[in-house]
Amino acid sequence: MVMFGGEVLVRKLLDVVQVDPGDFDLEPPEVERRVGRHIGILERGLLLTLVFADALSGVGLVIAAKSLARFKELDKKGLAEYYLVGTLASTLTAVGLGLLVKSILPHL
């Protein structure tokens, strides 16, 4: 649910806040969009693993590494907003649901 359902949640949030790179002539090609989806799925899986391993400090490392990879592109305001909202929503989904599941498991 976190890895694949998170994609739907992030997309819905980006629609609600109306942050779309297409508004700024930054629409990525379809190949980049597909790769971005796969990166998001893997990112949420990694974040979930960090939550279960009690390594929450690693969450910051994941966000920093992702930002470093996009550093030059973040000069464009529209893309920076799109990236920030998407990254934070994805991170919140993975960490939040991971902590929720982790808190429920001992009680089962």
What percentage of the chain reaches a pLDDT higher than 90?
A: 34
Burial group, residue 40, by CB count within 10 angstroms (0-12, 13-18, 19+): buried
CB 21, CB 14: distance < 8 Å:
no
pTM for this one?
A: 0.78
pLDDT tens, position by position, 9-61: 888 887 887 765 655 555 555 666 677 788 889 999 999 999 999 999 999 99
Sign of CA dihedral 57, 59, 64, 69: positive
| SS3 category, 25 | coil
Distance, CA of 37 to chain centre:
9
